[in-house]
Amino acid sequence: MRPTLHVGLTDGDLCGRDHRVLQAAVDLVAGQGGGTVHIGPGEWTLRNSIVLRSGVSLVGSGEQTILRKAPGGTSLLAEDGDYGDVRILPQDASGFHVGDGVTVRTNRFAGFFSTVATVIRKDEDGALVLDGRLNADLMVTDGAFVSNACPLIRAVDVHDVAIRDLAIEGNREQCPPEDGCRGGAINFLRVGNATLSHVLIRHMNGDGFSYQNCPDVVVENCLFEGNAGGGCHPGSGSARPIVRDCVMRGNGGCGLFLCWRVQNGVFERNVMEDNAQMGISIGHKDTDNRFAHNTIRRNRLSGVYFRNEPPYAAGHRCTVEDNTIQGNGSGGEHDGGPAAAIRIDGETNGIVLRRNSIKGSAIALRIGPEVGPVTIEGEVGGPIQDLREKK
């Protein structure tokens, strides 16, 4: 038996309307060895992330449980932020308060160089003291800035967590952009054995779900819709991911973006539609993955795209089978070539295309000049451009 703690707006073991009560519940359950935080119906406004702990499940009451991101802003730094420091000085600190979640980065150094932290003190001169050290030298000359960007839910260096049965409203128009590797509606870093199930993520000014260096993450029956970045973004050594029965619709990036070293994954029975870039993008060392029984339609660029990578870093030995790929490529050329239902670039090899139904694209299959062996089983369903030299 493991504890369940109920959180409500006005009724429950703990009551409140923002991130603080939800974080208190997570910490209390984690302190008892793990269990479930059940969130009742209602809307919670978050100025900081809910930080998950090992062994804790965060479970809502379906679409009636809404986590909404509070409006936020951005300020350039007035002085350099040095690697390892915990103090930053914004030019305008008026929009930052103790307890806020923030991201500190530059236009030059982002991604894993970004620092996501909580403001734990605000001095009279407006300086902010953070609960985490800066990950890089963030120089004024590089446009260093702090913003209220932060995931609504994040987890770092934990295991055995779950998020189920809730909705996230990203409030995209009133919030600063999220970093692709350290931000998003939900962000996991070095998290093992995690489940995301029946979660709706809409209108985030960044990715829906970004998880990096995370083995054995299962994403199922989720909706990623209208986010400024990608829908679902596994990356950076995330081994054995499973994404199934999800919808990735109308996002500003790709529906499904495999970043770096996403390997031995299964991506099945998903719908990727009406995204501004690709339906599925596969690239840097994203090897030995299976994409099956997906519907990939009306994405502005290629439906399935293997990125231009050298032989030591390409997405080798992936299987694309039994997918419905329709009407992609209305946005025209990208990455130096035309869009296609399936486009394979770089020195990628060992790709298997099997029984895919392809319709409504000017080019059904485009194979770049450096691509290695491609196995095709079944009718392609449209024009093929094979740029490899015939031997």
Please say whether the beta carbons of 44 and 24 come within 8 A: no
Q: Where are the domains of the chain?
A: 4-69+150-386, 74-147
Name the residue among 175, 189, 271, 300 with its Cα closest to residue 227: 175
pLDDT of residue 391: 46
Average pLDDT, the chain: 97
150-166 mean pLDDT:
98
Q: For residues 312 and 317, what is the distance between their CA atoms, to the nearest angstrom?
A: 13
Structure tokens at 324: 């419905």
Domain 4-69+150-386: CATH superfamily, name plus number: Single-stranded right-handed beta-helix, Pectin lyase-like (2.160.20.10)
User: What are the residue ranges of helices labelled H in the chain?
Assistant: 19-31
pLDDT per residue as tens digits for the range 209-260: 999 999 999 999 999 999 999 999 999 999 999 999 999 999 999 999 999 9
Structure confidence by residue, pLDDT tens digits, 280-317:
999 999 999 999 999 999 999 999 999 999 999 999 99
Task: Identify the pLDDT of residue 62.
Answer: 97
Mean pLDDT of 140-166: 97
Across the strands, what pairs with 168? 67, 201
Portion of the chain with pLDDT greater than 70, in percent: 99
| Interval 311-339: pLDDT, tens | 999 999 999 999 999 999 999 999 999 99
pTM for this predicted structure: 0.96
Residue 303 confidence (pLDDT): 98
**Per-residue pLDDT averaged across 362-377, rounded?**
97
Which residues are 365's β-sheet partners? 342, 384
Summarize pLDDT for 172-197 with one digit per residue, the tens: 999 999 999 999 999 999 999 999 99
